[in-house]
């Protein structure tokens, strides 16, 4: 039977081999692409103080798409329908800049600055029309206020980056 002290000892050659294995493994981990790639589309307003999307581990996370034009101005104040269409166009732009599209979305969240169920349904019907047969799980929320003055709608999404899509 071996003594415990013998279990804890190793030869100089064994120690060097173990250190080499640890250094190699450490280098492999450092070289692995685990960074987050922030996506800023030149087609979207440059005034936002954040990236429009982030890609990490094959997933695309979008910021909430807002009803902004290319100059960063909220479009059609008071018009849920027009703002929802602008939001969805901006969401598609952000997803495409990240290498995905609406059919790659795995989850969405829709925010409507209204407490009226009819307003929520109006927005949902437009959002749903953009997704078509891709009946993505979604959360629809009525909220008191959104980030920009006169903003009524915001949609965020999580998508899977298609395997054939090159990373941005």
Is residue 66 a part of any domain in this protein?
Answer: yes
Residue 28 corresponds to which tokens in the numbers above?
């492999």
Is residue 69 a part of any domain in this protein?
Answer: yes
Residue 83 corresponds to which tokens in the numbers above?
């703002």
pTM equals 0.79
Is residue 152 a part of any domain in this protein?
Answer: yes
Distance (Å, rounded) from C-alpha 155 to C-alpha 53?
12
Is residue 128 a part of any domain in this protein?
Answer: yes
Is residue 96 a part of any domain in this protein?
Answer: yes
The pLDDT tens digits for 134-152 are 999 999 999 999 999 999 9
| Residue 163: predicted pLDDT | 80
Bridge partners, 16 (sequence order): none
Is residue 24 a part of any domain in this protein?
Answer: no
Is the confidence at residue 33, as pLDDT, over 60?
no
DSSP H helical ranges for the chain: 4-7, 12-31, 80-97, 117-131
Tell me which of 99 and 5 has the higher pLDDT: 99
For the chain, what is the mean pLDDT? Answer: 87
3-state DSSP: the chain helix, strand, coil percent, rounded to 5? Answer: 35, 20, 45
- Domain extent, residue 43, equals 37-160
DSSP H helical ranges for 77-116: 80-97
Q: Average the pLDDT over 21-25 and give the result.
A: 59
CATH number where 83 lies: 3.30.1330.40
Phi and psi torsions of 94, nearest 5°: -65, -45
- What's the CA angle centered on 150, arms 147 and 154, to 5 degrees? 50
Sign of CA dihedral 156, 158, 164, 166: positive
The pLDDT tens digits for 119-133 are 999 999 999 999 999
Bridge partners, 53 (sequence order): 39, 62
Measured between alpha carbons, how far is residue 12 from residues 15, 16, 27 in Å?
A: 5, 6, 22
| Residue 14: predicted pLDDT | 58
Nearest to 60 by CA among 46, 41, 47: 41
Is residue 21 a part of any domain in this protein?
Answer: no
Is residue 76 a part of any domain in this protein?
Answer: yes
Total of domains in the chain: 1
């Amino acid at each position: 039977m071996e003594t415990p002290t013998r279990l804890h000892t190793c030869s100089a050659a064994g120690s060097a081999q173990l250190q080499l294995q640890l250094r190699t493994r450490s280098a492999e981990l450092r070289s692995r692409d685990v960074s987050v790639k922030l996506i800023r589309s030149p087609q979207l307003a440059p005034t936002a103080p954040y990236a429009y999307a982030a890609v990490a581990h094959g997933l695309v996370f979008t910021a909430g798409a807002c009803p902004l034009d290319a100059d960063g101005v909220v479009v059609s104040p008071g018009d849920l329908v027009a703002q929802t269409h602008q939001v969805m166009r901006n969401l598609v732009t952000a997803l495409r800049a990240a290498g995905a599209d609406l059919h790659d979305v795995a989850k969405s969240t829709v925010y409507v600055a209204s407490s009226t169920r009819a307003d929520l349904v109006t927005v949902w019907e437009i959002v749903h029309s953009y997704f078509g047969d891709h009946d993505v799980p979604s959360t629809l929320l009525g909220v008191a206020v959104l980030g920009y003055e006169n903003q009524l709608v915001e949609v965020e999404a999580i998508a899977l980056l298609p395997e054939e899509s090159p990373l941005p």
